[in-house]
Amino acid sequence: MIDLTIACLLAAIIVGYWTLCRFRSVGLRARAAEVVTRFIESEETSEADAKSAYASYFLSTKWWFLPLGVVMAIPIIPYIFLFDKDEGDVAKLKRREVVSSCMLFHVVRNPLISVICLSLIFVWTSLFVVIALLTRRMTSIPTLDHVLDMIGMLKSSMKNHAH
């Protein structure tokens, strides 16, 4: 009888945690939809960028979005760090805003999958950061100000986290 009680209690805790994560992500999902809508309706946005923004939003609503991202990161990360030239145009910044808003709501909605997948992407990326530094393909090395800005962004986002 005690085993059944413990199993029911653990099941209730899991369902409660799942519900809390889903509830916390609703506002972030609405914000992501607003950012994507604003990006698509902008006159500077091309048809290909609009389709890409919609696909980013649609895929981020699925639980398998980050596992797919891990698979896609295997060929993309080496290309970005070793061959891609960084462009600082305004359109690229707007595309990053769309992707970051979609990722934020996806991570809050699926925290366990996100921790595993983002850890794998981090390890894969850090390997190619070292290789890119050794081959002098990277044009900018993060400074102390960049690191402090990143820590500040993480601190502010931790206040909005579901935990």
- Residue given tokens 């506002």 in the structure block: 27
Query: What pLDDT is attached to residue 158?
Result: 61
Query: What pLDDT is attached to residue 6?
Result: 95
How do residues 33-92 score in pLDDT, each as one tens digit? 999 999 999 888 888 889 999 999 999 999 999 999 899 988 888 887 767 666 557 777
What number of helices (H) and strands (E) belong to the chain? 6, 0
pTM for the model = 0.69
Query: What pLDDT is attached to residue 76?
Result: 86
Query: What pLDDT is attached to residue 131?
Result: 78
The pair of three-digit structure tokens given for residue 126, joined into one six-digit string: 């850090």
Burial 126-141 (b: 16+ CB within 10 A, else e): eebeeebeeeeebeee
Query: What pLDDT is attached to residue 119?
Result: 93
Closest CA to 74 of 115, 123, 30, 13: 123
Query: What pLDDT is attached to residue 144?
Result: 72
For the chain, give every domain's residue range.
2-158
Q: Are 120 and 69 in contact (CB under 8 A)?
A: no
Q: What is the CA radius of gyration of the chain?
A: 19
How do residues 113-161 score in pLDDT, each as one tens digit? 999 999 999 998 888 878 777 776 555 666 777 777 777 777 766 666 5
Q: Which residues contact 63 (CB under 8 A, 6 or more apart)?
A: 110, 113
Distance CA 55, CA 63 (A): 14
Query: What pLDDT is attached to residue 132?
Result: 72
Question: Which three-class secondary structure state does DSSP give residue 43?
Answer: coil
Query: What pLDDT is attached to residue 65?
Result: 92
